Chains A and B, each alone.
Chain A
């Protein structure tokens, strides 16, 4: 049996134990605390998991019980989840940004009996709904700060106490933990991953040990990782994008996971670690690019000239690199010179110097961004997948990166396009279904294939092209089809545009609500001596509107078809936000919600003669106070021109 097959037959805790035997002294986890990186070897990792797992059994947690983890990324979150799995329990991670009601809904839906919170902020949310979650027997916390008033209540427990009890039990029965681990089977469900869900309560996708480990092994078959490689854990643990790395990839390959000091410092900490691979939602790459753009703009003229010159060279070279072609000698020399002179130091500044591969997924990234990153020498690749198939199922191969596709299936993943144009997949990483939702499970796994809900096609070179959510594809009143996400990404490539919402379903033309980027546009306004104090004032400046209008004109000029052009737009007075329900936890737009919330603006977009409208903006602060601000929103109408593009022939598939 090869090592791969051997690993595939181990549960996550068994694999952890296997790692201890192989490389017990190697660093497995690193956490920044008090300004210092503290290391855990695989050996220490395992013994912490053991203490946690045994400790949990001491507070009545048994096989089949469920633990919820509401925590920032800290090693203890992994100890809790894997510790619970080791004793036959199941874990679920909940977004730290969740509100008490959402937490209550999830805890009751899954029947959770123990909750782990990293700090008082999370504990307080659970306390808020204490009366409504009778199933929860214990709340374990990691950071004792601010917990003084809870100490006398036995409902709460310090993680140190769990460790202590687990350690005691291990001393009394040294073989117990091994026996418990051996009872685990690879096809047992070990974790519920909540699907972000653009509508309603999240569904808990059941994932098995094999689902995770298979994904980690298949991914590294394409892009191998060394045991000495580093990974920085900064995505929310509740997102499959983080779990697939900490459960799947790290266990399958033995790389080290680094935990930043806090959410705010993660980009700084990333510089200190210099990871070898990273995964992120498009937002992260967009933000980094905006920062580079901003800093270059602030730099002195010589830097700018060099940067602009080599950027053009880099883009040309990127074209060759992405398609795996041989570069002509002169270009190769200039690209090398550019790398030495400007891109190496630049990439070093963002902490990407050692990065061999960067993956983006979760939503589409504009083609221009790929070219940008490839030009500065960052090997950015698109992946595609979903929670129900442990995150990654399709991916670009090195030397075959095409911005308009999501690459080819991983080994062991089969792909098919249904007659309706839906992307279907099959692999050992596909979930057995949603917890307690047989109908939804039936829909999801109909005919033995995982139904993605996304429209797509496989092109002549075997790459998968994703168009949009099937349910999101829109038609204009004239029956012309378009993908709002596709157009939004176009807009978002502009450094000045942070977020955009495209409308036009059953309407005569496409229109957009736009969020300007507060940092980039803010700086732009400052440079021009335009004064503003709030985001609202900034987006109401007529000069800003002109700036955005220029961007949209150039986007319209490159539009593939007449009806792709944006006819009217308005600048929204506030940034779309998760807390206001306008974005999902993973940052996708809740289109329907936004349209309803800003219905008066939406209607005005389609009244051509309306050029401005008075609105009342309603704000709620953290402490519950509310204010209403009056402002005037302006509407702008554009001219549109036409071109042809290949994606259209495939859009017609869906009709």
Chain B
């Protein structure tokens, strides 16, 4: 399994430093959380990993592979998928179509095959559908399979967003606030999904989440950001006891 190494990454927008010399190691097979107050740079880190931003300085390595200047498309083909905080789904398509569409990069058949829908075309489509169905089963989306995404409740849409990332069959998945705006029951479900991802699908999880209760409960390792700088790292117990972290969250006495 592959390790993701972020070394000394700085990201600047004009005069603004979104990230300053951040070094993070994502160990394979674990749930690693990145927490911090609003504007701390959590999503910027994810954007750097997934190729939406390129770090101004520093390197990002996935195994031997250099990701610092890779495009989102390239990142997704090497097994890193991402679920967005603000849903990036086609609201006018069904859940099933959204998920099938996410696997379009696996469709490598010609227009000729597509028109007649035989041989490779029908075989690949069947394989894709089978994989998508596995994800639907895993994320318990059966009741919504043929429903239009735009008509679903927010909690379910978030689940579809996570499912869309999983249909790429990633080795590492970046979850950007998968539980935001959910009620307690929906959160419990998502927590279960995340743990099962790690335990049963052997997927490495990078979690950005505001619900500290959840983060402390399920993370193997936590990084804490504040104003673009790494201010703490460690196991949940270590982070909870770190005075710098407490200060960033609660403020000075």
Given A35-B129, A622-B185, A622-B188, also A148-B200 (CB < 8 A): yes
Say whether A621 contacts B133, CB under 8 Å. no
* B142 beta carbon closer than 8 Å to chain A: yes
Docked complex: B186-228 residues within 8 A CB-CB of A: 188, 192, 196, 199-200
Interface string of A618-646 (1 = CB under 8 A from B): 00011101000000000000000000000
Docked complex: A221-240 residues within 8 A CB-CB of B: none
- How many Å from the CB of B94 to the closest CB on chain A? 12
Say whether B200 contacts A262, CB under 8 Å. no
Say whether A265 contacts B142, CB under 8 Å. yes
* B143 beta carbon closer than 8 Å to chain A: yes
Residues of B within 8 A of A145 (CB): 196, 200
Residues of A within 8 A of B200 (CB): 145-146, 148
Chain A CB count within 10 A is highest, among B129, B143, B199, for: B143
Given A148-B200, A623-B184, A625-B184, also A262-B143 (CB < 8 A): yes
* A268 beta carbon closer than 8 Å to chain B: yes
Residues of A within 8 A of B196 (CB): 145-146
Say whether A34 contacts B184, CB under 8 Å. no
Interface string of A108-151 (1 = CB under 8 A from B): 00000000000000000000000000000000000001101000
* B104 beta carbon closer than 8 Å to chain A: no
Residues of A within 8 A of B140 (CB): 262
What is the bound-complex CA distance between A33 and B143, given in angstroms? 12
What is the bound-complex CA distance between A265 and B146, given in angstroms? 11
Given A264-B142, A264-B143, A265-B142, also A621-B134 (CB < 8 A): no
Say whether A35 contacts B184, CB under 8 Å. no
* B35 beta carbon closer than 8 Å to chain A: no
What is the bound-complex CA distance between A264 and B143, given in angstroms? 6
What is the bound-complex CA distance between A621 and B183, given in angstroms? 11
- How many Å from the CB of A632 to the closest CB on chain B? 25
Residues of B within 8 A of A623 (CB): 184, 188
Say whether B143 contacts A268, CB under 8 Å. yes
* B165 beta carbon closer than 8 Å to chain A: no
Residues of A within 8 A of B192 (CB): 146
- How many Å from the CB of A379 to the closest CB on chain B? 29
Determine the interface band of chain A, counting residues with CB < 8 A from chain B: 10 to 19
- How many Å from the CB of A420 to the closest CB on chain B? 48
Residue on B nearest A143 in the bound complex, by CB: B137
Residues of B within 8 A of A261 (CB): 142
What is the bound-complex CA distance between A53 and B3, given in angstroms? 48
Say whether A35 contacts B199, CB under 8 Å. no
Interface string of B113-152 (1 = CB under 8 A from A): 0000000000000000110011011001011011000000
Say whether A621 contacts B184, CB under 8 Å. yes
Majority-rule SS of A interface residues: loop
- How many Å from the CB of A123 to the closest CB on chain B? 14
What is the bound-complex CA distance between A262 and B136, given in angstroms? 12
What is the bound-complex CA distance between A262 and B142, given in angstroms? 8
Cβ 8 A contact of B143, one of A146, A265, A625: A265
- How many Å from the CB of A492 to the closest CB on chain B? 26
What is the bound-complex CA distance between A622 and B185, given in angstroms? 7
Chain B CB count within 10 A is highest, among A34, A148, A622, for: A34
Determine the interface band of chain B, counting residues with CB < 8 A from chain A: 10 to 19
Interface string of A266-279 (1 = CB under 8 A from B): 00100000000000
Residues of A within 8 A of B130 (CB): 34
- How many Å from the CB of A2 to the closest CB on chain B? 45
Say whether B184 contacts A622, CB under 8 Å. yes
- How many Å from the CB of B217 to the closest CB on chain A? 12
- How many Å from the CB of A273 to the closest CB on chain B? 15
What is the bound-complex CA distance between A264 and B145, given in angstroms? 12
Residues of A within 8 A of B134 (CB): 34
What is the bound-complex CA distance between A148 and B196, given in angstroms? 10
- How many Å from the CB of A101 to the closest CB on chain B? 22
- How many Å from the CB of B6 to the closest CB on chain A? 30
Residues of A within 8 A of B145 (CB): 35
- How many Å from the CB of A163 to the closest CB on chain B? 21
- How many Å from the CB of B182 to the closest CB on chain A? 13
Residues of B within 8 A of A621 (CB): 184-185
Say whether B133 contacts A35, CB under 8 Å. yes
What is the bound-complex CA distance between A425 and B130, given in angstroms? 52
Residues of A within 8 A of B199 (CB): 148
What is the bound-complex CA distance between A622 and B191, given in angstroms? 14
What is the bound-complex CA distance between A623 and B137, given in angstroms? 24
What is the bound-complex CA distance between A282 and B188, given in angstroms? 33
What is the bound-complex CA distance between A610 and B188, given in angstroms? 42
Say whether B137 contacts A34, CB under 8 Å. yes
- How many Å from the CB of B29 to the closest CB on chain A? 14
What is the bound-complex CA distance between A148 and B199, given in angstroms? 8
Residues of A within 8 A of B185 (CB): 621-622
- How many Å from the CB of A627 to the closest CB on chain B? 11
Residue on B nearest A263 in the bound complex, by CB: B143
Residue on B nearest A622 in the bound complex, by CB: B185
Interface string of A13-47 (1 = CB under 8 A from B): 00000000000000000000111100000000000
- How many Å from the CB of A267 to the closest CB on chain B? 9
What is the bound-complex CA distance between A626 and B208, given in angstroms? 28
Say whether B133 contacts A34, CB under 8 Å. yes
Residue on B nearest A266 in the bound complex, by CB: B143
Residues of B within 8 A of A265 (CB): 142-143
What is the bound-complex CA distance between A447 and B32, given in angstroms? 71
Residues of B within 8 A of A33 (CB): 137
Interface string of A594-630 (1 = CB under 8 A from B): 0000000000000000000000000001110100000
What is the bound-complex CA distance between A261 and B146, given in angstroms? 14
What is the bound-complex CA distance between A35 and B99, given in angstroms? 14
What is the bound-complex CA distance between A371 and B196, given in angstroms? 50
Residues of A within 8 A of B137 (CB): 33-34
- How many Å from the CB of B186 to the closest CB on chain A? 11
Residues of B within 8 A of A34 (CB): 130, 133-134, 136-137
What is the bound-complex CA distance between A145 and B195, given in angstroms? 11
Residue on B nearest A120 in the bound complex, by CB: B192
- How many Å from the CB of A260 to the closest CB on chain B? 9
Residues of A within 8 A of B133 (CB): 34-36
- How many Å from the CB of B228 to the closest CB on chain A? 35
Residues of B within 8 A of A35 (CB): 129, 133, 136, 142, 145
- How many Å from the CB of A391 to the closest CB on chain B? 28
Residue on B nearest A144 in the bound complex, by CB: B200
What is the bound-complex CA distance between A34 and B145, given in angstroms? 11
- How many Å from the CB of B77 to the closest CB on chain A? 25
Residues of A within 8 A of B136 (CB): 34-35
Chain B CB count within 10 A is highest, among A33, A35, A146, A623, for: A35
Besides A34-B136, A145-B196, A145-B200, 13 other A-B contacts (C-beta < 8 A): A33-B137, A34-B134, A35-B129, A35-B133, A146-B196, A146-B200, A148-B200, A261-B142, A264-B142, A264-B143, A268-B143, A621-B184, A621-B185
9 contacts between A and B (CB under 8 A): A34-B133, A146-B192, A262-B140, A262-B142, A264-B142, A264-B143, A621-B184, A622-B188, A623-B184
**8 closest Cβ pairs, A-B complex:** A34-B133, A264-B143, A35-B133, A261-B142, A265-B143, A265-B142, A262-B142, A148-B199
Q: Which residues of A contact B (CB under 8 A)?
A: 33-36, 145-146, 148, 261-262, 264-265, 268, 621-623, 625
